A and B are shown apart, each in its own frame.
Chain A
Amino acid sequence: MRVIAIVASVFAALVPMTACAQWPVKIGLLLPYTGVLSVQGIDTTRGVELALAKAGSKAGGRDVHVLREDTEAKPDVGLTKIRKLIERDRVDFVVGPVNSVVALAIRNYVHEQGTPLVVPVAFTRVLTAPPQVSPAIFRIVETSDQGNYPMGSWMMKHTKYRKMIVMATDFVAGRHAVEAFMAGYRAAGGEIVKEIYAPLNTPDFAPYLTQAGTTPADAVYAFFPGADAIRFVKQYREYGLWDRLPLTGYNVLADDTILPALGEAALGLLTVGGYSAAIDTPVNRAFVADYERAHKTWPSRYSESGFDAAELIVTAVESLAGDLSDRARVREALRTSLPRIKSPRGALEFDAYRQVICPSYVMRTEKRGGRIVNAIIDTIPAVSQGQTWTWWNRK
């Protein structure tokens, strides 16, 4: 018995020393690298890598290692992979996921394990609201509410559109996005004359466009993701709707990943979103230049989000001088580090639920300097999720 006690106490004395012995900080990236959303996973990763390269791949005196795991955008795969990252690879932080369904699937596990999860893309509004909110989850992307709700009153104040048609993909993200817009728009006195929903992966929007075309209204507000957005915006123009019914919507319609594919078809589109590569600040111009040098293309909002996520983690680790042994201190460091990072998006901070408070940008797709960009025409500062809870999350 005494031998065991001696051995145990020697071990106990050694452990704190080995913890300080420069083991690398491990960041696990839990993102889709294959499938339809692979572009979002790849862009986010590029943003992370750019931020880490800037920091010399070191933080708090320790090296930083990045491990990637492919969620395939499937919730059960995401859960298996995050188990691997946390239990086998013992990562200190996880950045991800892209899909809301994966985020909700891993929420309980992350909450139990306590490993800090920095969410760069998954924007389901329930993740950072009671009861799903967890002290281990830090989200730096705006929810569907934060983006779309303020746009409702902006539309009434800054445009002449008093009657609008709403068109969206019929899935949770699409529905929540336009619900938020409709709530904000109606609260400001606007009228929604029709709601049109199309299934995910609709190849041919013709039946829906014809419906919209035959309904009297001032403009359309839309939310379509990825390939659907490309088809929708192009077909919208081809069917001649644009002259009679200006197209507006969430920036997903023309974000920097699909803007090259849309080309001139997107000119004149009015959208709201958290980031555009055309934001004209020194921080963003530097970010875009660095990114373009590395990847020969402009960054998207996913790249920018990955960049912010990595900067946040590096700043937090620096503030702790590399000592990640106390999880509560790590979480507190993450919470307080967000306002200190120089984000290309602008000023960021966390609210009480660790959801980001960030500016929303109103943009118009224009040709500037021979390039088609989402030019910023207005800023809606410091939108928090709490402001948008008035209509769906009454306490």
Chain B
Amino acid sequence: MTFWAIQTLNGVSFGMLLFLLAAGLSLIFGLMRILNLAHGSYYVLGAYVALSAIGVTGSFAAAAAAGIATVVALGVVMERGLLRRLPRDELPQALLTFGFLLIVGDLSLAIWGGTPQTLPKPAIFDASLRVGPLVFPSYRLFVIAVGVVVGVALWLLQERTRLGAMLRAAIDDAEIARATGINVSALSTGVFAFGAALAALGGIIGGPLLGVYPGADFEILLLAFVVVIVGGLGSLKGAFFGGLLVGLLDNFGKALFPQFALFTIFAPMAIILAVRPSGLFGAR
């Protein structure tokens, strides 16, 4: 009983982390059809800047703000300055964002060094909770809470506000949205910046669990893509439930079938693509 309870909590907390990692990518691809390979860079940069900021200020909240602000600035520069100039073709986008992935990764190595690091948790989450025979790190409960709060907030934003309505209109059909007076250009930059902010948040929340080191950008990018594909491109609900599904399947897969551990991240993706090729909540 303890075993199943803990494994379920493990899966859910990992799933929420995956959601935070994937939400930004899903948003950007969904609205702008931009395959942003620099998504992994946003995670890493957010985590590294937060790490330095914590070293200077000692405050997790201030560090989080610093990390997010830096990444948002980079995102805005990338979108307005560069991605806009490209033809609406995935291949040049891939090359451009890949170039950024390399640049940010290498400069991070130069600035923060190659030693693997982890973000320190906020001190209140240092303890683990004990309920009878169960021991569970309190920080992971915090991750679940953050995931749920962000998920609900994004859903409310999308479904219940005017901004959300404009967003949905622009996703469905950009030309008609523009014709009705929606400022698709400002919306695009805004969405891109927001997606970047979500990725940075993923880095800050995930930093204490996953750590940050050279190569983390590629690993995170891969995880985010798996979640987005399982959940369906462009769907935040998909990122949420896709993340949850992948987290749970990965966790139980590793616990019950250790010999296939290498494939447990890809198995959900393969199943989904076989059964429902556009993902759980994907459109086309």
Whether chains A and B associate is: yes
Whether B258 pairs with A196 at a CB distance below 8 angstroms is: yes
Chain B residues near A170 (CB, 8 Å)?
261-262
Question: Does B209 contact A231, Cβ atoms closer than 8 Å?
Answer: yes
CA of A68 to CA of B250, assembled, Å: 41
Interface hits, B71-122 → A, CB 8 Å? 106, 109, 113-118
Q: Contact at B213–A227, with CB atoms within 8 Å?
A: yes
Which residue of chain B has the shortest Cβ distance to A195 in the bound complex?
B258
Per-position contact with A for B53-87: 1 when CB-CB < 8 Å, else 0?
00000000000000000000000000000000000
Pair A203/B210 contact, Cβ less than 8 Å: yes
B116 contact set on A, CB distance < 8 A: 39, 226-227, 230, 257-258, 261
**Residue with the greatest number of chain B CB neighbours at <10 A, chosen from A36, A207, A257:** A207
Task: Enumerate chain B interface residues (CB-CB to A < 8 A).
Answer: 2-3, 6-7, 10, 13-14, 106, 109, 113-118, 128, 130, 135-137, 139, 209-211, 213-216, 219, 223, 250-252, 254-255, 258, 261-262
- What chain B residues lie within 8 Å of A198 (beta carbons)? 254, 261
Given the known interface contacts A34-B106, A234-B118, A238-B137, the answer about A207 and B255 at a Cβ–Cβ threshold of 8 Å is yes
For the complex with contacts A37-B114, A39-B113, A203-B219, 4 further pairs of A-B residues with Cβ separation under 8 Å are: A34-B106, A211-B255, A226-B116, A226-B213
Beta-carbon contact of A199 and B262 below 8 Å:
yes
A189 within 8 A of B: no
Bound Cα distance A260, B116 (Å): 10
- The answer on a CB contact under 8 Å between B7 and A258 is no
Complex CA distance for A211 and B252, rounded to whole angstroms? 11
Nearest first, the 5 A-B pairs at minimum CB distance are: A240-B135, A38-B114, A206-B10, A39-B114, A238-B137
- B-side contacts of A38, CB under 8 Å: 109, 114, 214
A206 & B251 in contact (Cβ 8 Å cutoff) = yes
> Does A214 make an interface contact (CB < 8 A)?
yes
User: CB distance B115 to A260 under 8 Å?
Assistant: yes
A203 and B209: CB pair below 8 A? Answer: yes
List, in ascending order, chain A residues with CB within 8 A of B251's CB. Answer: 204, 206-207
* In the assembled complex, A35 has its CB within 8 A of some CB on chain B: yes
- The yes or no answer to A210 lying at the interface (CB within 8 A) is yes
In the complex, A208→B254 CA distance in Å?
Answer: 8
Verify A199–B128 contact, CB threshold 8 A: no
Per the bound structure, the CA–CA distance linking A210 and B8 in Å amounts to 11
Q: Report whether A36 and B215 are in contact in the complex, using a CB–CB cutoff of 8 Å.
A: yes
Q: Is the CB of A210 within 8 A of B261?
A: no
Residues of A within 8 A of B10 (CB): 204, 206-207, 210
B7 touches A207 (CB 8 A): yes
CA distance A240 to B118 in the complex (A): 19
The 0/1 profile, CB within 8 Å of B marked 1, for residues 41-68 of chain A is 1100000000000000000000000000
Judge whether B137 and A231 touch: CB under 8 Å. no
Within the complex, the shortest CB–CB distance from B75 to chain A, in Å, comes to 24
B111 CB, min distance to chain A CBs, angstroms: 13
| B237–chain A nearest beta-carbon distance, Å | 23
Tell whether A201 is near chain B: CB-to-CB under 8 Å. yes
Provided the pairs A42-B114, A196-B258, A198-B254 are in contact, do residues A206 and B14 lie with their beta carbons within 8 angstroms?
yes
How far, in angstroms, from A197 to B254 measured CA to CA in the complex? 10
A239 at the interface (CB under 8 A from B): yes
Across the interface, do B6 and A210 meet the contact criterion of CB distance under 8 Å? Answer: yes
Distance between A13 CB and nearest chain B CB, rounded to angstroms: 50
Tell me which residues across on chain A come within 8 A of B252, comparing CB atoms.
207
- Docked pose: A250 CA to B211 CA in angstroms: 21
Alpha-carbon distance A58/B139, docked complex (angstroms) = 54
Bound Cα distance from A35 to B116, whole angstroms:
11
Nearest residue in A to B215 (C-beta to C-beta)?
Answer: A36
- Name, among B14, B215, B255, the residue most crowded by chain A CB atoms within 10 Å (CB to CB): B215
Contact between chains at B261 and A227 (CB < 8 Å)? no
Contacts of A257 in B (CB 8 A): 115-116
Q: For the complex, what is the distance from the CA of A366 to the CA of B132, rounded to whole Å?
A: 30
Q: Which residues of A contact B250 (CB under 8 A)?
A: 204
Question: Which of A39, A199, A214, A240 interacts with B3 by CB under 8 Å?
Answer: A214
CA–CA, A294 to B243, complex, Å?
A: 46
| Residues in B neighbouring A39, C-beta threshold 8 A | 113-116
Cβ contacts under 8 Å, B106 to chain A: 34
Residues of B with C-beta under 8 A to A235: 137
Residues of B with C-beta under 8 A to A41: 114
One digit per residue, 1 when the CB lies within 8 angstroms of any chain B CB and 0 when it does not, for chain A 183-205 equals: 00000000000001111011110
Q: Which residue of chain A is the closest to B261 with respect to CB atoms?
A: A199
What residue of chain B has the Cβ atom nearest to residue A262's Cβ? B118
Is the Cβ of A238 less than 8 Å from the Cβ of B139? yes
Q: Which residues of B contact A227 (CB under 8 A)?
A: 116, 211, 213, 216
- Give Cα distance in the complex from A257 to B214, angstroms: 14
List of A residues within 8 angstroms of B139 by Cβ:
238
Contact pick for A261, options B109, B118, B130, B255, CB 8 Å? B118
- Whether A230 and B118, one on each chain, are in contact in the complex, defined by CB atoms closer than 8 angstroms, is yes
Name the CB-closest residue of B to A257.
B115
Q: Which of A196, A206, A235, A260 has the most CB of B within 10 A?
A: A206
Contact B254 A239 (CB under 8 A): no
A238 to B137, CA, bound (A): 5
- Among the interface residues A198, A230, A260, which one has the most CB atoms of the partner chain B within 10 A? A230
A298 to B54 CA separation, bound complex (whole angstroms):
22
A294-328 contacts to B, CB under 8 A, are none
Q: How many angstroms from the CA of A135 to the CA of B184 in the assembled complex?
A: 69
A27 to chain B, nearest CB (A): 22
Cα separation A208 to B264 with both chains bound (whole Å): 14
Supposing A203-B209, A206-B10, A210-B255 touch, asked if A240 and B130 sit within 8 A by C-beta, the answer is yes
Across the interface, name the chain A residue whose C-beta is closest to B117: A261
Candidates B7, B130, B214, B223; contact of A210 at CB < 8 Å: B7
Contact A231 B109 (CB under 8 A): no
CB proximity of A144 to chain B, nearest CB, Å: 21
A38 to B2, CA, bound (A): 41
Chain A: minimal CB distance from B245 (Å) = 15
Enumerate chain A residues within 8 angstroms of B261, measured Cβ to Cβ: 170, 197-199, 202
Q: Mark A12-49, 1 if CB is under 8 A from B, else 0.
A: 00000000000000000000001111110110000000
